[in-house]
């Protein structure tokens, strides 16, 4: 089956009149800036402390994971302190939405 798409034609003047803010954004590419605050790799072998925390249901579980990784030397004392501070001040979901059962299987199914 062929997917149907809706196509609308506008001349620039009419588009600017009807959608002035959108037209400004599209035309003013120099003025558009997006700050990237973090980058995550998509490698299943790089499961870091944040991904483990996102699987937790309770803050106590997250604290246990942080302490365990710190004890093993997988995260530094400083990084552990930063994560614990964020956990206490902003809560468990400040690290991202909960990763539910089957997330990694769905995410990486085609990579194996």
| Domain span holding position 83 | 44-111
pTM of the model: 0.53
Residue 52 falls inside a structural domain: yes
Q: What is the mean pLDDT of the chain?
A: 80
> What are the distances in angstroms from CA 88 to CA 62, 64, 78, 97?
11, 14, 15, 17
Residue 10 falls inside a structural domain: no
Contact predicate 16/23, CB 8 Å: yes
DSSP 5-30: -------HHHHHHH-HHHHHHHH-GG
Rg over alpha carbons for the chain, rounded to the nearest Å, is 22
* Confidence bin at 41 (pLDDT 50/70/90): low
* Confidence bin at 87 (pLDDT 50/70/90): very high
* Confidence bin at 94 (pLDDT 50/70/90): very high
Q: Is 12's pLDDT higher than 90?
A: no
Q: Is 3's pLDDT higher than 70?
A: no
Number of folded domains in the chain? 1
Contact predicate 93/100, CB 8 Å: no
């Amino acid at each position: 089956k062929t997917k149907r798409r809706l196509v609308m034609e506008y001349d620039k003047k009419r588009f600017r009149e009807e959608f002035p803010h959108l037209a400004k954004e599209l035309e003013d590419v120099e003025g558009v800036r997006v700050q990237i605050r973090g980058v995550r790799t998509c490698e299943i072998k790089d499961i870091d402390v944040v991904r483990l925390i996102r699987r937790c249901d309770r803050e106590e579980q997250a604290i246990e994971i942080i302490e365990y990784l710190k004890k093993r030397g997988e995260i530094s004392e400083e990084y552990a302190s930063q994560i614990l501070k964020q956990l206490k001040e902003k809560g468990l979901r400040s690290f991202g939405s909960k990763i539910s059962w089957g997330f990694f299987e769905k995410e990486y199914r085609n990579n194996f």
